[in-house]
Amino acid sequence: MAFNIKINGKTHSVDVDGDTPVLWVLRDVLGMTGTKFGCGRALCGACTIHIDGKPARSCITSIDSLGDSQITTIEALGATPVGAKVQKAWVDREVPQCGYCQSGQIMSAAALLAANPHPTDSDIDDAMSGNICRCGTYVRIREAIKQAAQSNE
């Protein structure tokens, strides 16, 4: 079945089954591999994208549920003001270790700061709790979110 999906400001036409997860479409059909496959069951956050600005797990989001929604992926996040601040903070704080979880972490952090420019520790915990990092970079992630938030002042 043909779908027109809006990703990073462009419309892409794809021909897949309606229950195909968006993650599969991004990676396997469109070759956009910045969004990672971790668990495939909404348990790790590696596949986080934005749908109409809100964080979503692309591994459990079927393409036929998107409608006219606008998707943003890690490939274009830096073009947004908050995305650029988050990515700068990630570099400044040298957050990644192996890096595998980090695009999902950054997408969740950017969605948090877009909705709440000055999050408390509790807000950060709530927003980031679904993003797992097997390398344990949580302390640096928190520092980077706080740096990005300070740059909003």
Window 10-39: contact mask with ligand FES (x via CB under 6 A): ---------------------------xxx
CA torsion 33-125-133-144 (nearest 10°) is 70
Instruction: Check binding of 47 to ligand FES (CB under 6 A).
Output: yes
Q: What is the closest distance, in whole angstroms, from the C-beta atom of residue 37 to ligand FES in the complex?
A: 5
> Using CB under 6 A, which of 25, 46, 89, 145 touches ligand FES?
46
Longest alpha-carbon distance in the chain: 47
Instruction: Check binding of 43 to ligand FES (CB under 6 A).
Output: yes
Q: Which residues of 64-80 are buried (b: 16+ CB within 10 A; e: fewer)?
A: eebeebebbbbebbeeb
Report the C-alpha gap between 44 and 88 in whole angstroms. Answer: 24
Instruction: Check binding of 59 to ligand FES (CB under 6 A).
Output: yes
Report the C-alpha gap between 112 and 82 in whole angstroms. Answer: 10
Q: What is the closest distance, in whole angstroms, from the C-beta atom of residue 116 to ligand FES in the complex?
A: 22
- Return residues touching ligand FES (CB under 6 A): 37-40, 42-47, 57, 59, 96-102, 133-135, 137
